[in-house]
Structure 1
Amino acid sequence: MSGFFYWNYSLNLEYYKILYPVKKIPLLISIFLLFLTFSFSGISGLKILILNRLNEYTSEKYPEKIYIHTDRPYYTAGENIWFDAYLVNGVSHKKSEKSKVIYVELINENNEVISERKLFTETISAEGDFKLPIDLPEGNYLLRAYTNYMRNQPRDYFFKKEIPVFAINSEILDNKNTALPENTELPDIGFYPEGGYLVDGLNNKVAVKIKGAALSATPVVGIIEDTEGNKITDFKTHEFGLGFFYLQPEPGKEYRAVISSGDENILYPLPIPLSEGYVMNASITEKEVVINVTTNKSEGLKNVLIVGQQRGIAAFDYTHEKISNTILLKIPKKDLIEGVLDIVLFNGTEKPVAERLLYIEKEEKLAISVKKTNGFNTYTRDRVNLEVEIKNKLGKLVPGTFSISVTDAELIKPNSNAENIKTYLLLNSDLRGKIKSPNYFFTPGDTIKKHQQLDLIMLTHGWSRFIWQEFLENSVRQEFKPEDGIYISGHTINAKSPFQNKFSETKLTFRKKGFYQETDNTNNIGYFSYGPFVFHDTIDVFLQAGSGLSTETPNYSDTNIKLVPQPQQPTIIPDRIINPFNQKQEITNVEAFIKKTRNNVFRDFEFDKEREQLAEVQIKGKAKTQEEIAEIKREKRTRAFAPSHRIVVDDMGQHGGGDFMELIMHVPGVRVGRKYGDENKTSQDFEINLRGLKPAFYLDNIKVTLPVARSISQANIDFIDVLNIGPASAAYGLEAQGVIAIYTKQGRGNKLRVTDRKLGSINFKLEGFYSTREFYAPDYSLVDRNRSREDKRTTLFWQPNIITHGFQNANVYFYTSDEKGRFQIDIEGITNDGIPFHNTSILEVE
């Protein structure tokens, strides 16, 4: 009878959701919840808190996502990486209304940023490129992209894509010996009970995962037994190293998996079952999501709450008010959107006790077609006109943005299972850990098997954009703000101790192709900010602060300017599995690819007489300590001559309000004191002698007076170099009486290059946004088609940021090269309504 009651309740719940689907009226959630609060008794305050938090998350504090489409999956040193960066609202996948600034970095295997791009966009995408140095070492490089606002979430959610790069002098493999070495290490296997835990007496599905396994992973066969050696069941892994089994633990027993390896049995302990708890099973039918919750607790499931959400959108909720040990719910798939569904069970004490992910697949909403419109046959050095059509299921044209690349399919074998914008936005970007070959689940063929494998992926991954307990208690952290341009900001500070912030007038002047000038007052604590500015080159900036700036007698003598440093690069998580470079074995036709791309690079040099390829240089090194790394960074800021004495302020533990004189007064040869013979002494009437001579003072490599040097507080100093006569003369030219060089924390890693600094003013060069180079391809309508220079391009065509407005198809054209054969047309993009799409087709050249 109780089973019938809950089945009937689930039908009523379905009907309720059809009438009032919460996810479809996010702007009315607060009013709706207020109505519920006064209309129904027993509705949990936890549910109201969760729905309000989710509403806040999706409407005000939504995350951002970035996806990067590159023209090719791998490169050779000396080539160009062309890319298009898509920036979207992480909930709706529409254009983000927050950030306009995108950072893209190229990172080597030592987790060092070797090149970076700062891009500006007012649309949904921003184009860019990287020129790979010709001497770039061979290896797996990482393309990382993020906005400043994305730093509010873990760095796991930055976009990351591995880019194999072959060296220009890469050795060609012997085709007879291309097999990968056998892996003799024991597999790292994890066991994942559905819902989170094994519970005594309750039957549960347990997923098996070989960590790091690829699509074509070698199967593993094993048995499950108790600690007394009694066999309970067996299992076998398949694609992606995934498998499963069912287990109903007996009270007081523990379990293990046994895998045979030759003559040895390898034991893997399973998670220890809980004596009391909850088990949540979930599955997907053609029309419904079926959720079954069981417990062995004496109080049963009274007052538990089940909540489903997708990308933060509240999908459904159910509060159970009866005493029972089982709940069965059915949720119509039509009320859900495509993507990851996160189902969480909260117990009667309002704690999350079980979680399950499902992937909701929907009918394809878009039809993408690519047609050649200028003749059926295509020849070498021939013009190709392409028409790209994007329609919805009603046959109407859809507005959107996309990028297109055309590459040599014989050299760069298409990988139909590789990640694309659809698999990233709908799947990988919402999971903990990365799924390899994700498009395998979206390609036709053996749908039953693929659905089962995808469900095992969901069982072995977790939603981690927020941790539920932390999310409910603290909402979403918003420390880092969205950027909409370049700002020049800072504080005005009293130039004399104790260096307090002070109100001041300020004046900003740009000196680039004329003058731009702006004035403003600071707030009461001396803070000022100019911007946002958008420019794509480096400009000279002159900033002044003081009093009476608009008069004929301005006063700068008692004011110092401290600029807010530009954002530092986020640290890099070494989350890649960096194996010895084995891409040569994994990439088809790698020998032909390396030969051709290398010849193309050399051919480019033949037509640029001012460039030469240097002889090979072999460099050997060893790992450095953190202190050695820090010292290298300091050396890069100096003039490359060893100082007579170096003071690292943090090492001394001093961060007071005093100035640098207190830090150097105990350095051998340095004497600090007041001037003699002056009856009108002031607090500035000090002098410093270095071995009896008057040294020069440099602040971040800019020569300054002693009062300016003294205006910097200890808390803002990174380190100080004292250079006696010899080192000073060598490093600073005419400074024959010694040098005291002060390096600030503000200047550490800052991209502002200061050219002059005085009390009340500072001159610096400010770098703007990156200006993307234009992809070059010959236009044979303008040049002789029979000219002698060979055309062996591997990327025939690349065009980012193609915009369709929904009333006509997009048209592009390009010319083929001297190569015949098959070329892949790869299109990735997103509609204005937030639907990602990916399409590939083949162009035959005769």
Structure 2
Amino acid sequence: MRSLTKFRLSLLNITMSLLLILLVNTSVFAQPKPADTPEDAASRLSYLSSAIDTFNKRLPPEKLFVHTDKNFYTLGDTLWFKSYLFNGLTGSYTTKSGIVYLDLISDSAVLAKSISVPAFIGLSWGQISLQEEHFKEGFYTLRAYTNWMQNFGEQSFFSKRIYIANPAKNHWLVSQSNAVNGSKNLFNYSLQFKRADKEVFGYKNLQWQISDGRKTQARGNYESINNTLDGSIDFNTIKGPLFMRIQEKGGEKQQLTFPLVASISPDIDLQFMPEGGYLVSGLPCKVAFKALDIYGKGINLSGILKNSQNETLAEFETIHKGMGSFILNPTAAGGYYVLAKWGNGLTKKIPLPEIKTSGSALQIGNTSSDSLRVEVLFTEDLVTRQEYTLAGFSAGQTYFSATFKADRQRMRLRVPKELFPSGIAHFTLFNSKNEPLNERITFINHSDILNIEIASATHHLRDSVPLSIRVTDKKGKPVQASLSVSVTDDSQVYPDLLQANIVTEMLFGGGLKGDIEEPAWYFNGAENTHEALELLMLTQGWTGYPWRDIFNPAIKPAFAAQPDLLVSGKVTNVLNKPVANAKMVLLAKGKYNIIRDTLTNAEGRFEFRNFPPVDTVSFVVQSRNARGKSFGIGLEMDVIKPAPFTLRHSATDIPWFVSADPRSLQLFSNMQKLKADENLGGKNVLKEVLIAGKRIIPKSKNLNGPGEADQIIDELAAQKAGDQSLLQFLQDNVKGFAIRSRDTDQYFYVNDKKVRFVVDGMELNRFYAPDDPPTLNQYYQFITDALASLTAAEILGVEVMYNTKHAHKYASSFLNIDEQIGNAGRPMPAPRPGGPRASVRDQFLSGNDIAFLEITTRAGQGIFFRKSAGIAVYRPLPLTWPKQFYRPKYSPASTSKSPDLRSTLHWEPNILTSLNGEGFTSFYSSDNSGTYTVIVQGSDMGGLVGFRNIKVTVGK
């Protein structure tokens, strides 16, 4: 991607440009100075350009890419990463943000881990430890963002799916065979179970159910003495992805949840996107479409386009990933529909969008030539010589604009591609009031990414493998670049080279809606990639620019940029007015003892910055007025809150243990060999025995006495969490803590038991007063709001009463008689004074079904208390600093007999090429012969990015 030099046609060469480019009476203007009132064409263009420039200066976007060493991990493993942070307008490194946040979110919407890393000239790297106390087996979404990127919504964040496996010896493997009997409309499934270590599965009594997210399709019991678990489901009743949940009754109580993917989708979601945005009577239109199966993935189909008289107008089929197109010349009569066909003779009738009787159309032809063919069409009633503006944008900047009068129905012009940088080009047609009428995006590819060459050769086991790298630009000139290198063993890790890389993220990122399936495929040179790329622009790029925000900008962004670690806030008086010249003192203890002071400005704001490189630190900030008093002073800290997240569960993500491929089984086997070697080597000859005294929570009102609980989380853990919300702290630290849906409401659970919360000896339910009848999730929202009033820094500890031994006294104190003994079949009791109204769902609970969380706060006054005036404790998310990736070194004289079975052979986060564009690294191969995948990607941080992969063969 070449540097983003802004091309504009100047007024001086308009006449010559019109003769060569425009085939109609149009006028192309440069971008003049802004005008107060857009009365003529030049002023309107100026107004448009000024609005966009102002918007970009106020909200310059950022783009972020994260390179990880692999996509598949095991518990206890380390995820290695490097992030590249760019200015979204120029492609060079951003100067706005200096801190990057990375989250790992489970498919049950639990934020399992959150870290922050410092970025220098847009670059940062580090690691995330995948320890069992934070993670369990399953799929996770790795997302990365800056605080500034929150202004643009979650769709602007970087995200990537990874899997974390638990290679326990007794882990179950599932072999499934799913087929559709079209003649009987049945979905047939057949499953077999065995142990991952190939030991005898043994007798197990299993309880299972299959659900499509809306209703339970099947359920039952299965005894493992039978060879298979077989069954059928009426194909016509399936309305969503099928998931099976199976758990052991008794024994080890293992449970698994995994998808049952049908070979044929019972239903499809077929959407039509007319080019330019609308179907208009009398104006021929290219109609793109995208078909998705019930799993949200593109599906191949064919179709017939028909009119209201049931006449066939066209036949079509998909080109790639459920995308295709057809031509329609609509009439006002409408009634057009498509009869889609897929799978084993399944059909569905879908109507086309409504047809406008008056309007315009914008069409773009993008072939292999050096120009775009642009056509603007009008209905006859609009041929009134009114002026219109066509503008072309890329990365938020204007690269082309033209005005013309509608004196005929069809206007044609050619726009040179060289006016635009590589990436998504966005065209918008405006009327004389600068109202957007039609929009169309297309893709410009100048093939100007970095060329990365990697030289290697065949090597032996435990051999030193050199990698020579050379980076050049499109013209072959050497480039200085920052590169990251990962090397993984193909026998254990599947390198999905069609997924997003730094090139696709920079060219697509932020310009398309939804998930792009296999984005790297569009740049692999296949025969129909260009056609499929244009269909991608027509379907997933159909939503236009935020013109309402551009023409009506907000006063200021909602989220501030973080160039570095910043402690800031505002001081107010009792009337909530800003206090100027208030003396501020900051104290910090840890690796560095810090004492600083400053004064508030006229708006009562203050800030401290330029801190030394700290990892864990807490700040105490105190404010006093001009007379040195803190009475009546209000101190509000600026807290960077984690971005909210939307639960995205992909039904086609298959866990490793379902029909496990050889790579997963090899990785599992290697993990068991390593554990066995550790035991034989004397590292863990005896089973681990933990001996520890009871932890005591100061000021705790534990009804069982000090230290009597099933789990105790002390002040040290709370201090490390800092300003993390109490709810998130509980999710991270209480074993088995989760939010689950029961019927239509959400509740808090510890494993299989509902939770009651007790804060400083006061149960929160006593403060709950629901509506009559209660609204949806009212109790859940009450608890969430209550927990949101505290941070982890404000508590001394948490005690979990789960088993009867510790929960009994709490049940006796806080549950009424019906709740203690269970009231199934009885009428719902009236609420006790000050207590909650019982619900239908609680009729079947008893005291043995409740877990209690005793939370002890520093103030000791329950969930509702006031903080000390003029004093605040601020604990930012600690910065994570990079560690060194382990690299074994072997020599001919090496006698080590410990097996080397690494899945990630090498991780090098920052190779800097020389002035000649050359770089070098090396690593040692392992005991596994076969092929390794080497991935190198990076950027010159000035607008150019590149990606390359090769295979390295290692033999015995």
Instruction: State the TM-score bracket (shorter-chain normalisation).
Output: 0.7 to 0.9
CA–CA distance in structure 1, aligned partners of residues 451 and 597 of structure 2:
54
Partner of 1:330: 414
Residue 410 (structure 1) shift? 3.0
CA distance in structure 2 between the aligned counterparts of 1:476 and 1:74, rounded to whole angstroms: 44
1:769 to 866, 876, 879: 879
- SS of 2:350's equivalent? strand
Q: How does 1:364-379 map to 2 (within 5 A)?
A: 364-372=448-456, 376-379=457-460
Question: Which position in structure 2 is the counterpart of 1:148?
Answer: 147
Following superposition, the deviation at residue 459 of structure 1 comes to 0.8
SS of residue paired to 1:817:
coil
Please say which of residues 568-577 and 432-441 is displaced more in the overlay. Answer: 568-577
Residue of structure 1 aligned with 2:672, choices 568, 577, 599? 599
SS at match of 2:503: helix
Deviation at 1:86, TM superposition (A): 0.9
Q: CA deviation at 1:430?
A: 1.5
Query: Could you tell me which residue of structure 1 aligns to residue 741 of structure 2?
Result: 623
Residue aligning to 1:160: 159
| CA RMSD between the two structures | 4.2
Q: Check conservation: 2:488, 2:933, Cα contact below 8 A.
A: yes
C-alpha distance in 2 between matches for 1:52 and 1:621: 48
Q: Offset at 1:488?
A: 2.3
Q: Distance in 2 between matches of 1:267 and 1:477?
A: 48
What is the letter of the counterpart of residue 127 of structure 1? W
Give the Å deviation of 1:297: 3.6
The runs of 5 or more residues in structure 1 that have no matched partner are 1-6, 23-28, 549-553, 652-697, 704-720, 723-729, 746-756
CA shift at 1:175, angstroms?
8.8
* 1:106 CA displacement: 0.2
Change (3 A) 1:763 1:153: closer
Of 467, 487, 506, the residue aligned with 2:546 is: 467
Whole-Å Cα distance in 1 between the matches of residues 639 and 687 of structure 2? 34
Asked if 1 retains the 8 angstrom alpha-carbon contact of 2:69 and 2:80, the reply is yes
1:741 matches 2:862: yes
Q: CA 1:588–1:218 in 2, change beyond 3 Å: closer, same or farther?
A: farther
Deviation at 1:260, TM superposition (A): 4.4
**Structure 1 pair 499–260 and aligned structure 2 pair: CA distance change class (3 A):** closer
Contact 1:49 1:472 in 2 (8 A): no
Which of 355, 365, 370 is 1:287 aligned to?
370
- 1:346-745 alignment, distance < 5 Å: 346-372=430-456, 376-446=457-527, 449-462=528-541, 466-474=545-553, 478-492=557-571, 502-503=579-580, 504-513=582-591, 515-524=593-602, 526-546=604-624, 556=629, 558=631, 560=633, 562-578=635-651, 581-582=654-655, 588-596=661-669, 598-599=671-672, 602=675, 606=679, 609=684, 622-623=740-741, 628=747, 641-643=761-763, 700-701=794-795, 740-741=861-862, 743=864
How far apart are residue 71 of structure 1 and its match? 0.6
Change (3 A) 1:531 1:821: same
2:281/2:357 contact within 8 Å kept: yes
Q: Deviations over 1:498-536 (max 9, x none)?
A: 676645322222333564322222235643322243533
User: Residues 514, 219 of structure 1: CA spacing in aligned structure 2 closer, same or farther, 3 A cutoff?
Assistant: closer
Inter-partner Cα distance in structure 2 for 1:58 and 1:256? 42
Distance change >3 Å, CA 408–CA 227, structure 1 → 2: same
Is the CA contact 1:386–1:813 (under 8 Å) kept in the aligned structure 2? yes
TM-score when normalising by structure 1: 0.77
List per-residue Cα deviations over 1:224-268 (Å, max 9, x = no partner).
112332222111113201111111112222211113466774210
Letter of the aligned partner of 2:526 in structure 1? G
> What is the CA–CA distance in structure 2 between the aligned matches of 1:213 and 1:263, rounded to whole Å?
17
* Counterpart for residue 139 of structure 1: 138
Matched, 1:787 2:896: yes
AA of the residue aligned to 2:356: L
Counterpart amino acid of 1:539? Answer: V
Q: Percent identity?
A: 23
Q: 1:9 to 1:37 in 2, by over 3 A?
A: farther
Q: Please tell me whether the aligned partners of residues 305 and 345 of structure 1 are also in contact (alpha carbons under 8 angstroms).
A: yes
The aligned residue for residue 798 of structure 1 is: 907
Q: Conserved in 1, the CA contact under 8 Å of 2:936 and 2:947?
A: yes
Q: Which residue of 2 aligns with 1:66?
A: 64
Please say if residues 273 and 542 of structure 2, whose CA atoms lie closer than 8 Å, have aligned partners that are also in contact: no
Q: Distance in 2 between matches of 1:514 and 1:137?
A: 35
Structure 1 residues 175, 761: closer, same or farther in 2, change over 3 A?
closer
- Say whether the 8 Å CA contact 1:109–1:578 is kept in structure 2: no
Alpha-carbon separation, structure 2, partners of 1:472 and 1:601: 62
Q: 2:760 touches 2:862 (CA, 8 Å); kept in 1?
A: no
Per the alignment, in what secondary structure is the counterpart of residue 457 of structure 1? helix
Separation (CA, whole Å) in 2 of partners of 1:767 and 1:264: 53
Structure 2 vs 1, CA of residues 560 and 220 (structure 1 numbering), >3 Å: closer, same or farther?
same
Distance in 2 (CA, whole Å) between partners of 1:223 and 1:421 is 39
1:778 aligned to which of 888, 894, 899? 888
Pick from 108, 119, 122: which aligns with 1:121?
Answer: 119
Change (3 A) 1:317 1:593: farther
**Separation in 2, partners of 1:281, 1:184:** 33
CA displacement at 1:486 relative to structure 2 = 2.2
1:188·1:210 contact (CA, 8 Å) conserved in 2?
yes
TM-score (normalised: structure 2): 0.68
Q: Which residue number corresponds to residue 112 of structure 1?
A: 110
Shift in alpha-carbon separation, 1:34–1:8, aligned structure 2, 3 A: closer
Mapped to 1, the partners of 2:671 and 2:328 lie a distance apart of 56
Cα 1:814–1:557, aligned 2, differ >3 Å: closer, same or farther?
same
Letter in 2 for 1:567: I
Q: What pairs with 1:174-323 in structure 2 (closer than 5 Å)? A: 174=175, 180-211=261-292, 218-260=299-341, 265-285=347-367, 286-300=369-383, 302-323=386-407
Q: State the Cα distance separating 1:84 from its structure 2 match.
A: 0.8
* Matches of 1:251 and 1:637, distance apart in 2: 63
Q: Within 1, Cα distance between the matches of 2:531 and 2:905?
A: 39
Are residues 362 and 401 of structure 1, via their aligned partners in 2, closer, same or farther at CA, if it must alter by over 3 Å? same
Q: What's the counterpart of residue 816 of structure 2?
A: none
Corresponding residue SS for 1:486: coil
Contact 1:488 1:531 in 2 (8 A): yes
Q: Distance in 1 between matches of 2:77 and 2:59?
A: 40
Closer, same or farther in 2 for the Cα pair 1:764/1:64, shift >3 Å?
closer
